[in-house]
Amino acid sequence: MMNKKAIITSALPYANGEIHLGHVASTYLPADVTTRFLKLNGVEAYYVCASDDFGTPILIQSEKEEKTPAEYVAHWNKRDYDDFSAFNIGFDYFYKTSSPENIAFVQDVFKKLNDADHIYEQEIIQFYCNNDKKFLPDRYVKGTCPYCQTEDQYSDLCESCGRVPEEITDPKCSLCGQPPTKEKTKHYFFKLKNFGDALSKWLDENIHLQKDVKKYVQNWIKSGLIDWDITRDISWGVPVPLDDAHNKVFYGWFDNHLAYISTAIKFLNDKGINGKEFWNSADIYHFIGKDIVYHHYLFLPAMRLGINNEYKLPDYIPTRGHLTLQGKKISKSRNWYIGLKEFLEYYPADYLRYYLVSINPYSQDDLNFDWDDFTTRINSELIGNLGNFVNRALGFTKKVFDGKIPETDSFDEKDSEAKQKITNLAADVGSLMEQNHLDRALKKIMEFSSFFNQYFQHKEPWKKGPGTANCVFLSVNAARSLAMAIFPFIPESAQKIWCQLGLSGNIHESSWKELSALGIPSGHILGDPSPLFTKVETSDIEKHKKQLGPSE
Ligand SMILES: [Zn+2]
Ligand SMILES: [Zn+2]
């Protein structure tokens, strides 16, 4: 049985630059498709998100642009939200980690962890740049990962092996390139070591977490967890709420995932719903990319365990791989990326949504954006299959029956098979969606469309022989089912089909199980059919390829 309440989050966008295709592929799009699906199923589902506003990269960049960090992040918060909206990412609420609610919440969680003896203070030796006259946490230092020996990694995360190094090898100041010196400072630590057994138990018991991810997180736990330095000597962050914590702030990964909770609670409370009660009775989904597994499978649950599950742990952490572009790693500095905003100036949101879901399995395997593959999939699948079927069925009905659905005769074998396809669609697609296999669910829908293309072809209604009325009746009903099933994936096009079918209201108000009904009766009058899509031109695609950075 599906839980009737859900809160969906996706990795928070770092308020430090524009959203590109790599961001939306692994997290925001799968989360949005899932939320739309849950809502159609009558689940009271809320998709909440926030910009991640704190940390050293933002401080460094705002200094360069001579803005205050608050001005700097306010700009990106708005821009990111606008870009997401243009892509039909339907957040119920989009807030920020620098909100007063999140700051108060983070400080409260810290106090509770401190009272429960999960925090200690320790003098540490920190990198310090004598040239820049400052402590150098995280991204201020680059070096070699001690675990996998990959060079040129930031000190707070190895992008190659995904681990957080205790100390990076061969460090260099990322501002000036000088080797830093070491100075003493006092930091606060979270006793992650305390939680090895509890985390292991939680991983074992949670049946919804991906098996392959669990396995290597279990290995991390077995090889020994290290306590976690949660404070920084910088000016931009959530202040540590202790009198003797002079000018220290929390590390971004201490506060940002707490904004999942504080943002949801703020949104729900504002709606007149008890936010905490809702959180604790809902299914909790955190959609992430595989680069932040460490943070979401260890830090995040350990902190919730440390405050006695006052806010329940996640049920689902759908974790997907990275997007490459034309087979190469996305890189902003080499201009090897495509901004979301830019893409949407060329093609409708639904083209990108369709393509990115279709190439994105429920796994940590990387996926590749390829302009030629994009063209093929849009032209032959989305347009050649789905667009063609809908336009053909509706166009024929308009032309021959003046848009009025005819009375049916008794069904022949082919009609009965077609009717059965409609009857099965909700369950066939729904079970894949519930298991997070969005790509397979989409494929199933396209197979349904393909079946009806063949059915229509086979019945030859243009000959107006016996059985024409049945073909029209079933095809138009199949178009309705198709619109409803595909709505979570390509909502704008689904709504267009809905209107062309002459159905009233907004398609998002319909319900998933109704999609397997023959919901359009004889006598119903269609709206005006018109082509749903325009073809992707290969000449344009060649231009887009050239707009990418120089290949190496
Ligand atoms: Zn590494
Ligand atoms: Zn320096």
Residue 294 CA to ligand 1 center (angstroms) comes to: 12
Please tell me the predicted confidence (pLDDT) of residue 551: 53
Residue 129 CA to ligand 2 center (angstroms) comes to: 5
Residue 328 CA to ligand 1 center (angstroms) comes to: 20
Comparing C-alpha atoms, which of 223, 205, 207 is closest to residue 294? Answer: 223
Please tell me the predicted confidence (pLDDT) of residue 540: 95
Average pLDDT over residues 129-137: 88
Residue 19 CA to ligand 2 center (angstroms) comes to: 29
Please tell me the predicted confidence (pLDDT) of residue 552: 47
Average pLDDT over residues 446-462: 97
Convert 257-305 into a string of H (helix), E (strand) and C (coil). CHHHHHHHHHHHHHCCCCHHHHHHHCEEEEEEEHHHHHHHHHHHHHHHH
Nearest-ligand number for the alpha carbon of 161: 1
Q: Is the pLDDT of residue 18 over 90?
A: yes
Residue 315 CA to ligand 2 center (angstroms) comes to: 43
Nearest-ligand number for the alpha carbon of 174: 2
Residue 172 CA to ligand 2 center (angstroms) comes to: 8
Tens of pLDDT, residues 313-334: 999 999 999 999 999 999 887 7
Residue 69 CA to ligand 2 center (angstroms) comes to: 20
Residue 128 CA to ligand 2 center (angstroms) comes to: 8
Q: Is the pLDDT of residue 550 over 70?
A: no
Nearest-ligand number for the alpha carbon of 294: 1
Please tell me the predicted confidence (pLDDT) of residue 52: 98
Residue 131 CA to ligand 2 center (angstroms) comes to: 5
Tens of pLDDT, residues 179-202: 999 999 999 999 999 999 999 999
Residue 298 CA to ligand 2 center (angstroms) comes to: 32
State how far the Cα of 47 lies from the Cα of 144, in Å rounded to an integer.
38
Enter the DSSP assignment of 236.
S
Residue 228 CA to ligand 2 center (angstroms) comes to: 25
For a pLDDT cut of 90, what percent of the chain falls above it? 89
**85: CB partners within 8 A, 6+ apart:** none
Enter the DSSP assignment of 328.
E
Mean of the per-residue pLDDT values of the chain? 95
Q: Is the pLDDT of residue 522 over 60?
A: yes
Per DSSP, which regions of 11-78 are E strands? 44-51
Would you state the structure tokens that stand for residue 427, as one six-digit string?
């369950």
Residue 163 CA to ligand 1 center (angstroms) comes to: 6
Residue 136 CA to ligand 2 center (angstroms) comes to: 8
Tens of pLDDT, residues 74-89: 999 999 999 999 999 9
Residue 141 CA to ligand 2 center (angstroms) comes to: 9
Average pLDDT over residues 45-66: 93
Residue 157 CA to ligand 1 center (angstroms) comes to: 8
Average pLDDT over residues 253-260: 97
